[in-house]
């Protein structure tokens, strides 16, 4: 009825339908909120894969067409500091390769953390000085027997041998 009264345009193309649906169902402040979300977006407690998917969804919702370099910069700036430090060491040519590298780095960091938690004894959590003490406690020491000179007649001390050999 509205089309017949010329209050609404006739939708012929897909792009026109998207515009019509957007104006009908999306509130005007939505784009501003999505832009703020995009600026604040960071990995946090999520995995790299979840963070990347959220970034892609937000960019799609905003209908923002960024260059590959700006997507890479946005992605890296939202990663955890440990992953950013490792990614700075490598060269990457595409966003997909960068995401794959970040997932690898994240899995290595998780393995390192799980190794620390599974090996929670004093040997792995102590400094090198404590390890030396730990090592010396395990091996019984015979140094007190070796350092005392024997003065028996059967085993003369080296000083007695030297005195006996002198003319």
Sequence ranges of the domains in the chain: 1-28, 41-134
pLDDT tens column, 40-55:
999 999 999 999 999 9
| Cβ within 8 Å of residue 39, ≥6 positions away | none
Structure pTM? 0.56
Contacts of 20 (CB under 8 A, 6+ apart): 8, 9, 11
pLDDT tens digits for range 116-145: 766 655 555 555 555 555 555 555 555 544
Output the pLDDT for position 145.
47
pLDDT: which is higher, 140 or 103: 103
Contact (CB, 8 A) for 107 and 122: no
Highest mean pLDDT range out of 4-13, 63-72, 144-153?
Answer: 63-72
């Amino acid at each position: 009825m509205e089309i017949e009264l010329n209050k609404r345009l006739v939708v012929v193309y897909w792009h026109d339908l998207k515009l019509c649906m957007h104006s009908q169902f999306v509130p005007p402040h939505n784009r501003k909120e999505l832009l703020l979300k995009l600026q604040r977006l960071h990995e946090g407690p999520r995995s790299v894969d979840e963070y990347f998917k959220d970034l892609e969804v937000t960019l799609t919702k905003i209908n923002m067409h960024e260059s590959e370099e700006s997507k890479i910069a946005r992605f890296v700036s939202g990663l955890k500091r440990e992953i950013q430090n490792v990614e700075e060491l490598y060269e990457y040519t595409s966003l997909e390769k960068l995401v794959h590298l970040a997932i690898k780095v994240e899995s290595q960091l998780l393995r390192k953390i799980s190794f620390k938690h599974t090996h929670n004894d004093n040997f792995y959590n102590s400094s090198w000085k404590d390890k030396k003490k730990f090592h010396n406690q395990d091996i019984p020491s015979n140094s007190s027997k070796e350092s005392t000179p024997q003065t028996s007649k059967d085993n003369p001390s080296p000083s007695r041998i030297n005195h006996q050999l002198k003319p």
